[in-house]
Chains A and B, each alone.
Chain A
Amino acid sequence: MVIFGTGEVRQFIPTGGDYTYLIVYLITLIALTFMWLFLGQRYQVYMWLRDAERATLKLEAMAKKGKEVLVNAIKELGKPDKDPSEEVEKFMDFFVIEPVDRDPFGVLKRLEHLLDVEREKFKDVVARVAPKANSDERANLEASFAAAWAVNYIYKFVRHYMLLGKKTKSMIVLMQIAYSLPMIMRLAEAYFNSLDAFTKGKPIGDSVGPMVAAKLMKGYPCKSIGDEIVAAEVPFEGRLLVVVKAEGPGGRVGKPGEAIAKLAQQYKDRLKRIITVDAAIKMEGENTGQVAEGVGAAIGDPGPEKYKIEQVALELGVGLDAVIIKQAYEEALSTMRKELAEAVDRAVEVVKKIVREKVVEGGVAIIAGIGNTIGVGNG
């Protein structure tokens, strides 16, 4: 068999041999390389798709179970006359449209209004499905509704991208969803696990802020000051601490910004410091339960409450101190870990230290425990 032409090339090829197998060998090699190039890509897409499908299956199971847990809690606490499943299912499509920010003037006011309406909506649905639950149980059910909604939303989100990728065979869609899955699943699991705490009224990681406030106000009379917030006056080494937290032990967050602004105006003659205590998401590598001290308003709301605290501090010229207790995202949402429960006492000491340093005797400090007060009483 002759493969090359005549001339100079010929001298490189030995004469008399049969090179069929060598050619077959080379062709196979080249074919395989090309297969690897093109099929490899296909195979990658297939792997991504399979990961997304598997995650969707798992999320579907979680969303279903989440709704089941919620329905059971409603039945147990609210003793409704009819089955709440339908109402729960209907609520899963609930949505909030964010205010337009192209014209940012007054956007926080509008956002606050929307958040108020959202909160009202949650209250309405819980009142409807669980008429016999008491106020704390209703607050817990509201939080449970939010958690079940979140799991369901994540499920629908992942399913959407999985199906979209399947339909369009788009590598970028599938790659994005596949590579985001570890984070998404962590989030979904955090919300799913929070259902156990929310339905049973156990304190969660986010409750460390209110728990610090509760420990400070323990033994002193506290009264409700509106917006689901309670406050107590606590004398401390010649100073007066005005301690603020959401009304426990139901799963409430309240409107701490509003309350702080109100109290700051009330005590403005002697007010020296506003200290906010909150849970904060730690960075990977940091320890759970680490207490850190900083400056600013430690509050993780969408904006309005934080704005009010900063505004009143600026207006009255008082310092803003922040104390945070670090934890992972999933720890903030699930039953409080031991490290966090123990960190509360350390955070109390840090708050006292700040008061001693920054507030002269006879002065007033407002101390706000920010966060969901589920499972934490009012002292």
Chain B
Amino acid sequence: MLNQIPISSNGDYTYLLTWYLLLVLIVLIIFSTLLSATRRRVLVTLRGMRTITVLQCEKCDYKEEREFQVGDYVLKRVGECAKCKGPLYISMIYGVPEKGPPRPYGY
């Protein structure tokens, strides 16, 4: 019965075992590096933000967008409308995540 198993009784199969061990090791290494690589990507992500200030006229429907400046706040009066000279105020300030891949941070 055992004779049918392709294990030779006089051939040398040591090399087969060595290959088997090596293969297991290689698979292990590849697997672990893949695993840790994906984990690292989860850990290191920080996105930059662009902040936009929206100006609106109180009298007409004039609307303007510009970059946020320090000192801006919602409902602050900022100059006058370019269309009707009415008072202009900040109606909202919001952040837009920067496009492109998340920038790595740290080490």
Contacts and interface: CB of A to CB of B under 8 A. Distances in A.
Contacts of B43: 51, 54-55, 58, 181, 185
A342 to B, nearest CB: 8
B105 A58 contact: yes
A373 to B, nearest CB: 9
Contacts of B42: 182
Main secondary structure of the interface of A (DSSP, over half): helix
Contacts of A214: 74-75
B94 A21 contact: no
Nearest to A200: B70
Contact residues on A (Cβ < 8 Å of other chain), bracket: 35 or more
Contact of B2 (A14, A211, A336, A337): A14
A201 B14 contact: no
A196 B49 contact: yes
Interface in B34-74: 35-36, 39-40, 42-46, 49, 51-52, 54, 68, 70-74
Nearest to B12: A21
A211 B74 contact: yes
A312 to B, nearest CB: 28
Contacts of B44: 58
Main secondary structure of the interface of B (DSSP, over half): mixed
A61 B44 CA distance: 11
Contacts of B30: none
B70 A58 contact: no
Contacts of A215: 75
A376 B51 contact: no
B7 interface: yes
A17 interface: yes
A327 interface: no
Given A19-B9, A202-B95, A377 B36 contact: no
20 contacts: A14-B1, A16-B9, A28-B21, A32-B24, A43-B32, A61-B107, A181-B43, A185-B43, A189-B46, A192-B46, A200-B68, A203-B74, A214-B74, A249-B73, A335-B93, A336-B92, A336-B94, A375-B73, A375-B74, A377-B74
Interface of B: 1-3, 5, 7-14, 17, 20-21, 24, 32, 35-36, 39-40, 42-46, 49, 51-52, 54, 68, 70-76, 92-96, 105-107
The 10 closest A-B pairs by CB, nearest first: A335-B95, A249-B73, A17-B9, A61-B106, A377-B75, A341-B92, A58-B106, A338-B94, A341-B94, A376-B74
Given A202-B72, A375-B73, 8 more contacts: A16-B9, A17-B2, A17-B3, A43-B32, A51-B39, A55-B43, A335-B95, A376-B75
